[in-house]
Amino acid sequence: MSRYWHTLRWLKPVQIYGRAWFRLARPRPDQSPPPALRIPATHWQRCARAASMTGPRRLRFLGVERELAGPGDWNRADWPKLWLYNAHYFDDLAADDADARAGWHRELMRRWIAENPPPAGNGWEPYPASLRIVNWIKWALAVEALAPEAVHSLAVQARFLRRRLEIHLLGNHLWANAKGLLFAGAFFSGDEAAGWLRKGAAILRHELDEQILADGGHFERSPMYHAILLEDVLDLLQLDRAFPGALPVDLVATLAAAAPRMLRWLRVMSHPDGEIAFFNDAAFGIAPRLAELQAYAAALGIAFDTAPLAEIEALPDSGYVRLQAGPAVLIADIAPVGPDYIPGHAHADTLSFELSLHGRRALVNGGISTYDAGPLRHRQRRTAAHNTVTVDGADSSEVWGAFRVARRARPFDVAWRREGDTLVVHGAHDGYRRLPGRVYHARTWRLDEHGLEVRDALTGRFSGATARFRFAPTDPPPLTWSSSAPAAIEAGAWYPRFGAESSCEVLTVHGDGPAFATQFAWTRQ
């Protein structure tokens, strides 16, 4: 009961009554004729995205390729829900070289309409519906006009979405719902479309203020989701140019102000290899890379900061700090797990970090490969999957289920500074205070151009503490280590993308005293 209480106590009332409303309210699809279409002013410019269709009926998502052979395949119970969601997103319509696959897309849309009658099935759930509405409209603006039956279906989808908003989930789901309504409201004209625009704008005004922090970061503290929402912001700015005057002026101004801050945040949270750091739910291949988002922003004429990053770059509202000394880049997590009422993408990774050397990853957090509830998902969220300290086998935050957190770590005593040639970050958390010994964990990173020292200190009663440092499995730069406590190399795993696993080595340091330190050294080359 304690775990349920500490999970539920943080929920907003709307998440509780909204869940009941969502289950009980079953609106009927409105099949009336669609509103008239607006005439676009510009051709749609795509953000880079890898193609996911490998044939007329074959799709590849999350590292797995399957064939949608018949109507039942859209909702197969023996296929992962997330894979099926991806099939309903229609992301390939906005992917690279989509024009060359226009025939496939035309047929897939025709099949979807015929094989997914409203309102049953995965495709009519609000999140995939939101993404599909956007992708169909992007395709219509970039490739060719939609067939009349697709235009009608799009209107039916928008009407249904308007009555199935995910107020019980909030976060990036409600954001996606708002984006879908804004796209539909701009694509169509008339009073009905104006209503979609008003609702989408009202939601997004609130969510922009709630979800985008002052330092530009997304409040769920996941670099992957941050990049997804940054693409959304850029998409909406382009939508305003495609249909001038459709979106409210104040909303466009807020989006335009957010984009450069969000781009800079992603620069800080990306490694020298151009890919995101792995904190909370994060994996390669889901969101556009930093360079792709910068190119997209540049194509839209959006100015953003390109000055070299400083040796210390702090994101105080998000809770991350980036250090750069010589060939080393370190990104440290001194952040809360996320918003209290929606920590679904959080990991028990407080006071973890990642390190790159000479442009290559050296120390990495474990990553993710699945959202399916089970032992693997749980293991990937646990503290032991991250470069930080476990105490008596416990997690710093009580992650459970696929997207749940009960008692969670709170960071405090956070600071960063330069001491001569050394860059220093310090932080502590109270996640282990729930243990009988009421333990606190504090960590100090000391980085210079030749090496890194990680000092861990524990106060309170405990039997044993373990610090883990996961070495990157592919082409790691030369790195030597030493420790003041007993240490050994163990076998581990790294999950860089959905459906993928790589073997790696993990340095495991066993600290049975109140303080211990681990040193890493390298050459400048």
Structure tokens at 121: 């099935």
Q: In angstroms, rounded to a whole number, what is the distance separating the alpha carbons of residues 325 and 99?
A: 45
Q: In angstroms, rounded to a whole number, what is the distance separating the alpha carbons of residues 276 and 219?
A: 16
Q: Which residue in this structure is represented by tokens 């990774």?
A: 349
Q: In angstroms, rounded to a whole number, what is the distance separating the alpha carbons of residues 517 and 83?
A: 43
Q: Which residues contact 324 (CB under 8 A, 6 or more apart)?
A: 309, 310, 311, 312, 313, 330, 423
Strand ranges inside 192-334, DSSP E: 312-315, 320-325, 328-333
Say if CB 287 and CB 224 are below 8 A apart.
yes
Q: Which residue in this structure is represented by tokens 């699809």?
A: 29
Q: In angstroms, rounded to a whole number, what is the distance separating the alpha carbons of residues 90 and 107?
A: 12
Say if CB 406 and CB 395 are below 8 A apart.
no
Beta-bridge partners for 440: 459
Task: Read off the pLDDT band of 506 (50, 70, 90).
Answer: very high
Q: Name the maximum alpha-carbon separation found in the chain.
A: 73
Relative to beta strand 389-391, strand 360-363 is unpaired
| Of 23 and 410, more confident | 410
Which pLDDT score, from 0 to 100, does residue 470 have?
98
How far CA 363 is from CA of 328, 336, 387, 480, in Å, comes to 11, 22, 8, 12
CA angle (151, 155, 159) in 5-degree steps: 170
Share of the chain above pLDDT 70, in %: 100
| Of 11 and 509, more confident | 509
Structure tokens at 464: 């044993």
| Of 401 and 26, more confident | 401
- Mean pLDDT of the region 419-433: 98
- Mean pLDDT of the region 335-339: 96
Which pLDDT score, from 0 to 100, does residue 1 have?
65
How far CA 73 is from CA of 58, 78, 88, 187, 190, in Å, comes to 11, 10, 11, 30, 37
Q: In angstroms, rounded to a whole number, what is the distance separating the alpha carbons of residues 349 and 382?
A: 7
Residue pLDDT, tens place only, 38-56 = 999 999 999 999 999 999 9
Which pLDDT score, from 0 to 100, does residue 66 have?
98
Task: Read off the pLDDT band of 447 (50, 70, 90).
Answer: very high
pLDDT score of 444 more than 70: yes
Say if CB 83 and CB 61 are below 8 A apart.
yes
pLDDT score of 265 more than 80: yes
Q: In angstroms, rounded to a whole number, what is the distance separating the alpha carbons of residues 141 and 150?
A: 14
Residue pLDDT, tens place only, 353-401 = 999 999 999 999 999 999 999 999 999 999 999 999 999 999 999 999 9
Task: Read off the pLDDT band of 186 (50, 70, 90).
Answer: very high
pLDDT score of 22 more than 90: no
Share of the chain above pLDDT 90, in %: 93
**75: which DSSP letter?**
G
Q: What is the mean pLDDT of the chain?
A: 96
Q: What is the dihedral of CA 247, 142, 58, 284, to 10 degrees?
A: -60
Give the range among 188-202, 241-255, 468-482 with minimum mean pLDDT. Answer: 468-482
Which pLDDT score, from 0 to 100, does residue 510 have?
96
Residue pLDDT, tens place only, 125-146 = 999 999 999 999 999 999 999 9
Task: Read off the pLDDT band of 478 (50, 70, 90).
Answer: confident
312-331 burial, b at 16+ Cβ within 10 Å, e below that, comes to bbbbeebbbbbbbbbbbbbb
DSSP letters for 155-179: HHHHHHHHTS--TTT-HHHHHHHHH
Structure tokens at 362: 């050296």
Q: Which residues contact 140 (CB under 8 A, 6 or more apart)?
A: 146, 187
Alpha carbon of residue 445 to chain centroid: 26
Determine the length of the chain. 525
Residue pLDDT, tens place only, 306-321 = 999 999 999 999 999 9
Give the range among 137-146, 152-161, 245-254, 474-483 with minimum mean pLDDT. Answer: 474-483
Task: Read off the pLDDT band of 525 (50, 70, 90).
Answer: low
Residue pLDDT, tens place only, 71-103 = 999 999 999 999 999 999 999 999 999 999 999
